[in-house]
Amino acid sequence: MVSKTEETQLNRLENQVDNGGGGAWEYLCLVRKLKVRRSEKVLKYGLSILNDLKKRSSLGSEEWTLYEQVAIAAMDCQSLDVAKDCIRLLRKAFPESKRVGRLEAMLLEAKGSWAEAEKAYSSFLEENPLDQVIHKRRVAMAKAQGNISGAIEWLNKYLEIFMADHDAWRELAEIYVSLQMYKQAAFCYEELILSQPTVPLHHLAYADVLYTLGGLENLQTAKKYYASVIDLTGGKNTRALFGINLCTSAIGQLAKGRNKEDKESLELQSLATTALEKDYKQRAPAKLSLLTTALKSLKVSS
């Protein structure tokens, strides 16, 4: 995950290059380091270096890294002729390279030659069953074909091997949510919270899923996780503050007065409501009346 500082640095460097201030190579290196997707820019500025003999020669062995980076960006932009030329030069320089072989399989993907690409990936996995890149390409290929069940199957198989891959767990959770398979999504978020307990976004997504599932037990648990988001963010997550109020209202309707909220829960509800009203007064005063109306409809207005 890219930090705000890194994103600011990247955007500043991108603006510098866009305005002719130089630094194209530094920009490309930063894009590669942060693993962000800026394909059009990478293609444009990468080719500006590769097509200039003096600039290309000054890169030394990094020239081949740039060819690879440009090839991937070109496939992303459907500039398949450029990608093909880059891969051809890489194959000539590294005739036995499996890394270049992966690029060739990705080019087959980009062309829509799914069967050939799958055959190539299967061959790579026979030689090295622990090749993470190939496993991920299979997931991407299934998604590109609209084969969501296939993507779920490949992701589950991948996670059986690479259980510590947070991005894969998050991607699987998001697919489950899109299919309204909330119990399966909840399991994925539980895994993420166990491995990254201080990341508020995991707690927030888990609380959202539990709230959507409904039921008294799920709502009570969702409320606790919304509270943990507030704790982790210093009370600055508006969505979690709303979540506290929504859960409080839903729990009250389900309990129908049989189970009174304990003092701590009532205090939390009051604090969340006060924090929301304060936030709206500072950032969106024109919408404060809408907030007040919404909170009154939940019977949680301060």
| C-alpha 137: how far from chain center | 16
pLDDT at residue 302, rounded to an integer:
44
Which runs of E-coded beta strand occur in the chain? none
Q: Is the dihedral of CA 105, 111, 112, 116 positive or negative?
A: negative
Residue 107 lies in a domain: no
Residue 288's SS3 state is helix
Number of domains in the chain: 3
Residue 101 lies in a domain: no
pLDDT at residue 258, rounded to an integer:
56
pLDDT at residue 259, rounded to an integer:
54
Contact 39, 73 (CB under 8 A): yes
Are 297 and 206 in a shared domain? yes
Contact 302, 273 (CB under 8 A): yes
CA distance 260 to 155: 43
Question: Last residue of a domain, which of 96, 126, 149?
Answer: 96
What DSSP string runs through 85-98? HHHHHHHHH-TT-H
| Sequential pLDDT tens for the chain (302 residues) | 688 899 999 999 999 999 999 899 999 999 999 999 999 999 999 999 999 999 999 999 999 999 999 999 999 999 999 999 999 999 999 999 999 999 999 999 999 999 999 999 999 999 999 999 999 999 999 999 999 999 999 999 999 999 999 999 999 999 999 999 999 999 999 999 999 999 999 999 999 999 999 999 999 999 999 999 999 999 889 999 999 999 988 888 887 655 555 566 677 778 888 888 898 988 889 998 898 888 888 764 44
CA dihedral 123, 128, 133, 138 (to 10 degrees): 40
Work out the burial of residue 201: count CB atoms within 10 Å of its CB; fewer than 13 is exposed, 13-18 middle, 19 or more buried.
Answer: middle
Residue 166's SS3 state is helix
DSSP structure class, residue 260? P
Residue 103 lies in a domain: no
Question: Last residue of a domain, which of 143, 177, 197?
Answer: 197
Residue 205 lies in a domain: yes
**Region for residue 215 given its phi and psi (left: phi exceeds 0; alpha: psi -120 to 50; beta: otherwise):** left
Which range of residues forms the domain containing residue 131? 112-197
Residue 104 lies in a domain: no
Question: Last residue of a domain, which of 96, 124, 150?
Answer: 96
pLDDT at residue 37, rounded to an integer:
92
pLDDT at residue 9, rounded to an integer:
93
Residue 148 lies in a domain: yes
pTM score of the predicted model: 0.84
